[in-house]
Chain A
């Protein structure tokens, strides 16, 4: 596989020949790629290219009709989404999906669901059992995440009342609270202003470098993708058309055609205009 990963054991995620169709609409056709442990991997492509479908296949929301998805060497193609979350695949959503009526803290605590072992009974025996000690430990980790994403000032606020940029951050915090090995980010910077984008890019890089999380990210902002991702895959009409280092990918002619779309056509149009102009000039 020409994916630039030298040792197979480094692969945290392997996607092989995945095809997904909704009735007659082919969302994904034989897509395959691999992500190395510790990598920051970006998936780009025009609207409707199948990026989110790909992410949904990895997180388990969709089951591909064909192909396999392996996580840390084991086949997860048929595992339920919640099972995948418990073995270390976290994600955020393209459209904000916070629990709007809950506090920021509660939102993040939901992310720790599978790490909390106490049930109703030991919860009732709060002071006797280990529930209190356990909760303290969890709270400490949650506070660490809150500090990292700089949302201390809103931790008690109701999530639904926050600004868009903050809500995106809280959603990221909730996904991190899962302590995933692999985190899937679906357009983490969509709809943000420049400052918010820069902050978010910094968080993602820190998450990757300092917290050691492998990141797979869908993003439309080419500047950010070029700056922070290690490798990039390009999808178009559900097919993989290129994969490699950001600079390589951007130089790829097929990518320029698919992603920048009109570029070639414009050149052609320009030439025609020029020819027309020349003819007009000649005729005068």
Chain B
């Protein structure tokens, strides 16, 4: 047993899991508000990372400004996608909408490769110190910041839904669109807002991972990892998405530990989340926090 490795992996799992949680939250936000299963969520992450990288390396602007510009870009991008592509799909069968989002994901994958190439590109260094010591463990600064950013985003979501007018309107819309409309809530603006927030927050996750590993089309793997997370948490629960993300992050790193110590099968870290996915679908198809009748959809 190598306890240092174990601890290192668990911290890794927590940090990566928090990022999964953030993207899962974005996924659930879109699903809850507009009943669209967004298969292009991972591409939102990828586009965010590339756009930020582009601002930073091509125009040499400071990170903070590049980051803010990226957020603005993603807000506009999210609204455009909703208005141009998904609004005409309202009322169409679920399977058609799913095909559209899968199409979007393929188009964006190709578009990003065409625009930025197929090789991983490193971000310019952002933090002065590579790593800091936490309880005697060396933790990379980016990881620490990413954890803080994730927690900050989650707190922001909680505040938004509990205390703001649009947050309340969004919850109302998720519950019953007709009733929400009868109370003067514009469904269109709620949908657009959900997509805008989802795209922008996904981009944050993209930038964080990009800073750690460099930007390449492999980044959209987060979009795939998000599925076990949201299925585990319950497709329509934001809290579930967060917890699901963290659990998946921990589980995959635990699997990696078990694998490297005893089994030596290799690559369990990639596979185990999907075993979890299958098991959850078999024994608890509505997840930990999901609405029970969700599988009727």
A-side residues, CB < 8 A to B, are: 59-61, 80-83, 85-86, 90-91, 93, 97, 99-102, 106, 109-111, 113-114, 116, 118-120, 123, 126, 174-175, 178
When distances are taken between beta carbons in the complex, the residues of chain B under 8 Å from A101 are 175
Decide: A85 and B183 in contact? CB cutoff 8 A. yes
**6 smallest A-B Cβ distances: which pairs?**
A85-B184, A114-B184, A81-B181, A123-B164, A97-B179, A116-B165
Given contacts A60-B181, A106-B168, A110-B172, 18 further A-B contacts (CB under 8 A): A61-B181, A85-B182, A93-B179, A99-B176, A102-B171, A110-B180, A113-B165, A113-B183, A113-B185, A114-B185, A116-B165, A119-B165, A119-B166, A120-B160, A123-B163, A123-B164, A126-B163, A178-B184
**If A110-B168, A110-B169, A113-B168 touch, does A99 touch B175 (CB 8 Å cutoff)?**
yes
Q: Which of B235-293 contact A (CB under 8 A)?
A: none
Residue B139 at the A interface, CB < 8 A? no
Residue B187 at the A interface, CB < 8 A? yes
B179 to chain A, nearest CB (A): 4
B238 to chain A, nearest CB (A): 12
A100 to B176 CA separation, bound complex (whole angstroms): 10
How many residue-residue contacts, CB under 8 A, span A and B? 80
Partner of B184, one of A113, A119, A126: A113
When distances are taken between beta carbons in the complex, the residues of chain B under 8 Å from A97 are 176, 178-179
A119 to chain B, nearest CB (A): 7
Partner of B185, one of A82, A119, A123: A82
17 cross-chain CB contacts under 8 A: A60-B181, A61-B181, A80-B186, A81-B178, A82-B186, A83-B186, A85-B183, A90-B183, A93-B179, A102-B171, A109-B168, A110-B172, A111-B183, A113-B183, A118-B165, A119-B166, A175-B182
A215 to B133 CA separation, bound complex (whole angstroms): 68
When distances are taken between beta carbons in the complex, the residues of chain A under 8 Å from B163 are 123, 126
When distances are taken between beta carbons in the complex, the residues of chain B under 8 Å from A126 are 163
B187 to chain A, nearest CB (A): 7
Closest residue of chain B to A138 (Cβ to Cβ) is B165
Q: How many residues of B contact A (CB 8 A)?
A: 21
A178 to B169 CA separation, bound complex (whole angstroms): 13
Closest residue of chain A to B190 (Cβ to Cβ) is A82
Decide: B176 and A113 in contact? CB cutoff 8 A. no
Closest residue of chain B to A107 (Cβ to Cβ) is B172
A59 to B179 CA separation, bound complex (whole angstroms): 11
When distances are taken between beta carbons in the complex, the residues of chain B under 8 Å from A86 are 184
A59 to B182 CA separation, bound complex (whole angstroms): 7
Decide: A81 and B172 in contact? CB cutoff 8 A. no
B-side residues, CB < 8 A to A, are: 160, 163-166, 168-169, 171-172, 175-176, 178-187
When distances are taken between beta carbons in the complex, the residues of chain A under 8 Å from B175 are 99-102
Partner of B182, one of A91, A99, A100, A118: A91
A111 to B178 CA separation, bound complex (whole angstroms): 13
A10 to B168 CA separation, bound complex (whole angstroms): 36
When distances are taken between beta carbons in the complex, the residues of chain B under 8 Å from A81 are 178, 181-182
A3 to B220 CA separation, bound complex (whole angstroms): 66
**If A116-B165, A123-B163, A123-B164 touch, does A80 touch B181 (CB 8 Å cutoff)?**
yes
When distances are taken between beta carbons in the complex, the residues of chain B under 8 Å from A174 are 183
Closest residue of chain B to A100 (Cβ to Cβ) is B175
A182 to B250 CA separation, bound complex (whole angstroms): 55
When distances are taken between beta carbons in the complex, the residues of chain A under 8 Å from B186 are 80, 82-83
When distances are taken between beta carbons in the complex, the residues of chain B under 8 Å from A113 are 165, 168-169, 172, 183-185
A109 to chain B, nearest CB (A): 6
When distances are taken between beta carbons in the complex, the residues of chain B under 8 Å from A85 are 181-185
Q: Which of B179, B180, B183, B187 has the most chain A CB within a 10 Å cutoff?
A: B183
When distances are taken between beta carbons in the complex, the residues of chain A under 8 Å from B184 are 82, 85-86, 113-114, 178
When distances are taken between beta carbons in the complex, the residues of chain B under 8 Å from A111 are 183
A106 to B161 CA separation, bound complex (whole angstroms): 11
Q: Which of B163, B164, B166, B169 has the most chain A CB within a 10 Å cutoff?
A: B164
A60 to chain B, nearest CB (A): 8
Decide: A61 and B178 in contact? CB cutoff 8 A. yes
Closest residue of chain A to B175 (Cβ to Cβ) is A99
A116 to chain B, nearest CB (A): 4
Q: Which of B168, B176, B182 has the most chain A CB within a 10 Å cutoff?
A: B182
A81 to B177 CA separation, bound complex (whole angstroms): 11
When distances are taken between beta carbons in the complex, the residues of chain A under 8 Å from B179 are 93, 97, 99
When distances are taken between beta carbons in the complex, the residues of chain A under 8 Å from B160 are 120
B71 to chain A, nearest CB (A): 13
Q: Which of B163, B165, B169, B180 has the most chain A CB within a 10 Å cutoff?
A: B165
Decide: A110 and B164 in contact? CB cutoff 8 A. no
When distances are taken between beta carbons in the complex, the residues of chain B under 8 Å from A178 are 183-184
A92 to chain B, nearest CB (A): 8
A105 to chain B, nearest CB (A): 11
When distances are taken between beta carbons in the complex, the residues of chain A under 8 Å from B166 are 119-120
Decide: A99 and B164 in contact? CB cutoff 8 A. no
A271 to chain B, nearest CB (A): 49
A175 to B179 CA separation, bound complex (whole angstroms): 10
B154 to chain A, nearest CB (A): 16
Partner of A110, one of B178, B183, B187: B183
